[in-house]
Amino acid sequence: MMSINPFIPYQATLKEVINLTPDIKLLNLELTVPELQNNFDYKPGQFAFLSAYGVGEAPFGFVSLAYRKSGIEFAVRRIGTVTAALHELEPGATIGLRGPFGNYFPLEDYKGKNIFIIGGGIGMAPLRPVINFILDHRAEYGNLLIINGARTPKDLVFANEFDTWAKAPRTQLELTVDKGDQNWKGREALVPAVVTELKPSPVNTIAITCGPPIMIRFTLAALKGLGFANNQIVTTLEQKMKCGMGKCARCNVGDKYVCKDGPVFTFEQISKFLEQY
Amino acid sequence: MTKVITKEDLLSWLRQLAEKYAIIAPVTSNGVTLYKSVGSSEIDKINLNFSKTELSPKNWFFPPSETLFTIVKDELPRIIPASVDREAILFGLRPCDAKGIALIDKAFLAEPADVFYQEKRDKTTLIGLACLSPCLECFCTSVGGGPADLTHLDILLTETAEGYITQATTEKGKQLLTGAPRQEKEIIPPVLPSLNLILAEGITELMPRVFNDAYWDRVADRCIHCNICAYVCPCCYCFDIRDYVSKGKIERVRSWESCQSPGFTRLAGGYDPRPTKGAHFRQRWYHKLLYFPPIFGDIKCTGCGRCVRSCPVNIDIREIITDVQRMKV
């Protein structure tokens, strides 16, 4: 699937831009080469580099599901030079896409298990295809509990999908914000506190979390408090990356490269790193 | 009987090879020896008695800065990938530097191969020169190499009073040597020099237990982030990729980078998983001595001593290895 020279991006056309939050846009892309449009495969957890030509490229997790064939989607938070340039683009623009890279959430192995999704802010991005994959294969998984947290109500991503998620069978969606506004009637609590409050049973459950490092640290502690073992807790690490192929050594952590050995790791693997993550 | 080539024949053979191949060889100018491209009329400029080049030969395969591709702004970006045109001979490699290339090979040729590196690598034949008078700071024999180690070369030449002993180790080398004017002679091979020994054996096993020692912060304090250690290293290969725009043309450029750079792991938005100077410093030694070996089967050091010679604040890998051995936990 990767091009012959994996440093050279495929060209993609920006089909649609949706504002998810004040600083996060959903970019929907279509590869320009027709033969690739129906054959471009990737899995939840994998990522690609997007090029804003002339500014640079940066890695982003896929937020769409390849088999749905409704475009290749990324949720891009405006945070640096490349993301700022991507935010400036309008439908019809050409974006470079290199990938897919990295490993993925082993969703086949999780069949029959309860899934506990814990996302914070833009950390929900790589978890969205996990949720949608489970909903597309609902009978094959146990209960699905989702905690989606953000700083304020307007920072909650994928709000247009909340109804679909909440109404799905054996699925519970819990939203929380650090600080509400006058219209907010939901929780005002930090994500780790919600984990502790909801007390999901660790029995036959996999917890998948992604969010800011501080949230992950306290979420990990909360999960351990509930009896989750390190091999039942999965996350996707964010690291500076330049190549995506284990060459540039920017994302090297111990004897692992986040780009090719990850980005998906269990906390059992992470706990073996000498460096603290 | 041993096959040898006289110095005169060696130079005329190189002159002849230069018609077909790009020849990259050590050339000294203004007291600085570097690997340079030499044409057939410049073969006499090759320095056959150099001790060590200032920069390693990795530059040939992995230049300090190279354009990966150019985009000319039409209606759609048109990508014109860079490519190499002809076969090359990298001549006069010391065995330590050949090992440096072999170590980069492990990372860059692993699937998916780095196409830019691979193309140059495939088109290049490595001719080495045994090291008969090693530099003060060398320690190749402590890290698995040797002054006449031919493992990573296509051809090794060893100088004697009668000429250069020629040894081909690969098919590529054997093929090339068939065209060399050699004579069979009764030769007593030169005595190889003995090198300074440091206690590098078992260093990989010792590294994990001193990870949290204050030692790394303490030694790092004098580092000035100049990155020279990584730039002169024959097997350091961290890189950066950036876009440059000029005259309507966009170039995507890959450049050398070093794990010692302050922004090496800093993400957009400012979060840095490896935020301290000590942690950056430690990464260099842990990557070389602990992380690389289980993946690629060898410590990532050739014992060439260039980092020792070049560091402006005298950070010395030999001392670091020795200190780790001595540290009590």
DSSP string covering B229-256, please?
HHHH-SS---EEEEEEEETTEEEEEEEE
| Same-domain status, B293 and B144 | no
Chain B residue with the nearest C-alpha to that of A32: B76
Q: Give the other-Cβ count within 10 Å of B91's Cβ.
A: 27
Distance CA B14, CA B11 (A): 5
Q: Is B245 on the interface with A (CB under 8 A)?
A: yes
Domain for residue B152, yes or no?
yes
Predicted local confidence at residue A234, as pLDDT = 98
Distance CA B235, CA B238 (A): 10
- Name the residue ranges covered by the structural domains of chain A: 10-101, 114-236
Do A242 and B81 count as a contact with CB atoms less than 8 A apart?
no
Distance CA B306, CA B228 (A): 9
Task: Judge contact between B51 and B135, C-beta under 8 A.
Answer: yes
Q: Could you tell me how many CB contacts below 8 A there are between chain A and chain B? A: 107
Strand partners, A56: A52
| Same-domain status, B54 and B173 | yes
Task: Judge contact between B165 and B150, C-beta under 8 A.
Answer: no
| Same-domain status, B232 and B130 | no
User: What's the total number of domains in chain B?
Assistant: 2
Chain A residue with the nearest C-alpha to that of B261: A250
Domain for residue B66, yes or no?
no
Comparing CA positions, the residue from A199, A202, A201, A174 lying closest to residue A189 is: A174
Do B291 and A11 count as a contact with CB atoms less than 8 A apart?
no
| Same-domain status, B172 and B265 | no
Q: pLDDT tens track of chain B, all 329 residues?
A: 789 999 999 999 999 999 999 999 999 999 999 999 999 999 999 999 998 999 999 999 999 999 999 888 765 667 777 777 789 999 999 999 999 999 999 999 999 999 999 999 999 999 999 999 888 999 999 999 999 999 999 999 999 999 999 999 999 999 999 999 999 988 888 988 888 888 888 899 999 999 999 999 999 999 999 999 999 999 999 999 999 998 888 999 999 999 999 999 999 999 999 999 999 999 999 999 999 999 999 999 999 999 999 999 999 999 999 999 988 66
In CATH, the number for domain A114-236 is: 3.40.50.80
Do A242 and B239 count as a contact with CB atoms less than 8 A apart?
yes
Predicted local confidence at residue B86, as pLDDT = 87
Strand partners, A27: A17, A74
Ramachandran angles phi, psi of A214, nearest 5°: -65, -40
CA distance B100 to chain A (A): 15
Do B241 and A53 count as a contact with CB atoms less than 8 A apart?
no
Do A255 and B295 count as a contact with CB atoms less than 8 A apart?
yes
Comparing CA positions, the residue from A105, A101, A73 lying closest to residue A241 is: A101
Q: Which CATH class is domain A10-101?
A: mainly beta
| Same-domain status, B224 and B266 | yes
Query: Splitting chain A (277 residues) into consecutive groups of 10 residues, what average pLDDT does each group show?
Result: 78 97 98 88 98 96 96 97 97 95 98 98 97 98 98 97 97 97 95 97 98 94 97 95 95 92 96 84
DSSP symbol at B171: H
Do A255 and B116 count as a contact with CB atoms less than 8 A apart?
no
Q: Which of B133, B156, B185 is the last residue of a domain?
A: B185
Domain for residue B74, yes or no?
no
ipTM above 0.85, yes or no: yes
Chain B residue with the nearest C-alpha to that of A249: B238
Domain for residue B70, yes or no?
no
Q: Is B259 on the interface with A (CB under 8 A)?
A: yes
The SS3 assignment for B225 reads coil
Give the residue numbers spanning the domain of B283. Answer: 203-247+254-326
Q: Give the other-Cβ count within 10 Å of A76's Cβ.
A: 25
| Same-domain status, B154 and B238 | no
Residues from chain A contacting residue B287 (CB–CB below 8 Å): 249, 252
Q: Is B273 on the interface with A (CB under 8 A)?
A: yes
Residues from chain B contacting residue A248 (CB–CB below 8 Å): 238-241, 257
Task: Judge contact between B66 and B117, C-beta under 8 A.
Answer: no
Domain for residue B198, yes or no?
no
